[in-house]
Structure 1
Amino acid sequence: MAKQHLLLAVVLVASILHHAATSEAIRPANSTDAATTVYDVLEQNNLPRGLLPLGVKSYVLHPGGGLEVTLPSECNFAVAVAGKQFTFRYGTSVSGVIKSGSISRVNGVRVQVEFAWLGFNQVTRAGNQLTIELEKSTQSFPVSAFAQSPRCS
């Protein structure tokens, strides 16, 4: 479940960056324009909102798809898939480049795989599967695992 939340965060960052391609925007997380939340940016780019945890303070979407997300504090959560548990750790600043169906050049998110903390480079959606490219491996998750944004612990 944590891995799913990490993927959601990456996707969210990528979506915000894509939205910025048409205009640079800085939006508080509690913006009254429902179509301009970072979670909306993720969904507009065919990515699940659960890639980012609840509580995003603000985001910036740059021209070209660059996305920067600010969280109030470091965020940790776990995701269980196929009998394995993955712990995701988001820093207070998360960024990437969002395009339809993917977030690349992800920074600020790490995943614990067994005993190692690995950064991940990209999240890609193909049908009902999300694939996360880690530093040394690739992990697939059902999109449904990221349907809801996680709460941080």
Structure 2
Amino acid sequence: MAIMHHLLLVVVLLIASTLHAASSVTTNSAVDATSATAYDILEQNNLPRGLLPLGVKSYVLRQGAIEVTLPGLCDFNVTLAGQQYIIRYDPTVGGLIRPGSLTQVYGARIQLAFDFLAFDQVDRVGDQISLHGGDNKFFKNKSFPVSNFAQSHKCNK
């Protein structure tokens, strides 16, 4: 199972790097390339802008796939019921964006207990944002109020 996950990640990264080489900002017909930011793309798809931290350098959007470039590794804290969770993004994160969801997410992890575990899907259902761990037997789902992502977070790293 881990080999298939790594293979999928390699394929997605190869596709993403090809898209990135084609253009630093590519858009579909519903987005104005001269004014839309990666944060705008999230909001246009009913996702909160705070899913991305402050400081996005660039993004590529093509045929529903979004890839975002950050200045470097980024950790930020999200609080739920008094407990702090750390979300970590690699310098490049992305996935397939649709109204209310991101699927095939790569470059994103959440710290649970003592380890960072990848999540491969983000869904908005009403006022909740759910992070899904996919096939991970230690992490299936973690939900947060949308308000935790109303504003973009500053990276701790």
State the TM-score, normalized to the length of structure 1: 0.77
2:144 — aligned with what? 141
The answer as to whether partners of 1:93 and 1:108 remain within 8 angstroms in 2 is yes
Matches within 5 A, 1:40-51: 40-51=40-51
Secondary structure of the residue aligned to 2:51 is: coil
Q: CA deviation at 1:137?
A: 1.9
In 1, distance between residues paired with 2:129 and 2:109? 16
1:15-30 equivalent positions in 2, closer than 5 A: 26-27=24-25
Please report how far the alpha carbon of residue 25 of structure 1 lies from its aligned counterpart in structure 2 after TM superposition: 6.0
For structure 1, the residue ranges without an aligned partner over 5 or more in a row are 1-16
Does the 8 Å CA contact 1:25/1:61 hold for their aligned counterparts? no
Give 1:27 shift.
3.0
Match of 1:72 in 2: 71
**1:115: how far off?**
0.8
Secondary structure at the counterpart of residue 152 of structure 1: coil
CA deviation vs aligned residue, 1:50-98 (integer Å, no higher than 9, x gap): 00001111000011x1111101111111111012211111111101000
Contact 1:25–1:62 (CA under 8 A) maintained in structure 2: no
Which structure shows the bigger proportion of residues in strand conformation?
A: 1
Q: What one-letter code is carried by the residue in structure 2 that aligns with 1:146?
A: F
1:80 maps to amino acid = T
What is residue 37 of structure 1 aligned with on the other side?
37
**Residue 26 of structure 1: how far off its partner (Å):** 3.0
Identity of aligned residues (%): 50
Task: Establish whether residue 122 from structure 1 lines up as the match of residue 125 from structure 2.
Answer: no
Match of 1:7 in 2: none
Pair 1:150-2:148 in alignment:
no
1-side partners of 2:34 and 2:127: how far apart?
28
User: 1:102·1:125 contact (CA, 8 Å) conserved in 2?
Assistant: yes
Unmatched 5+ residue regions in structure 2? 1-15, 27-32
* CA-atom RMSD in angstroms: 2.3
Q: Which has the larger radius of gyration?
A: 2
**Structure 1: distance between partners of 2:23 and 2:51:** 20
